[in-house]
Amino acid sequence: MAAGGRCPIGPYAGVDGMPADVADGLVRLTGLVQGIYARVSERHDLTPVQAKLLCVLLGGPRGMAELARCFGVEKAALTGLMNRAERRGLAQRESVPGDRRALRVTLTDSGHAAAAAFHAEVSAELGRLIAPLPPHVREQFHSTMAEIIARHP
């Protein structure tokens, strides 16, 4: 166990629990983010996957095929998630005019409220991760993160 009670991720963890390289740091940061996401999801009586679905749908209706790509699954695998979301009254599937085989997913009013509440809380929690950093470092982190995401959609 590394200093400070932190368990290193792999054989390359650095001194005093500090990441030894970019990969180790990113893996550790991912763990922190996923932990926060899971805890906030649980407080909102959602699974992390349900929370992700609601957040994606906050941006507007999406087709089932588009959602399947977003989640990295086949359309058939998305059906179970949608069945559970519909049973809870969070989302609904609708026919797409002019394409009788296509379905579009939208949030219900209840789903929109749940998504907005989850998004606000998880955003605040994640914001606390970088809040101690000086403003110029937060700005650099934000622009670097945006650049990495833009290059790897």
Give the CATH number of the domain where residue 95 resides.
1.10.10.10
Same domain? For 35 and 54 the reply is: no
Same domain? For 33 and 61 the reply is: no
One digit per residue, the tens of pLDDT, for the chain of length 153 reads 444 444 544 554 555 566 668 888 888 899 999 999 999 999 999 999 999 999 999 999 999 989 999 999 888 889 999 999 999 999 999 998 888 888 999 999 999 999 999 999 999 999 999 999 999 999 999 999 999 999 986
Same domain? For 111 and 57 the reply is: yes
Domain residue limits at 17: 1-43
- Residue 3: Cβ-neighbour burial (10 angstroms; 0-12, 13-18, 19+): exposed
Output the pLDDT for position 76: 83
Tell me whether residue 63 is in a domain. yes
How many domains does the chain fold into?
A: 2
Output the pLDDT for position 5: 45
Output the pLDDT for position 120: 97
Diameter over CA atoms, the chain: 62
Instruction: Say what the pTM is.
Output: 0.79
Output the pLDDT for position 137: 96
Cβ of 142: how many Cβ atoms within 10 Å? 11
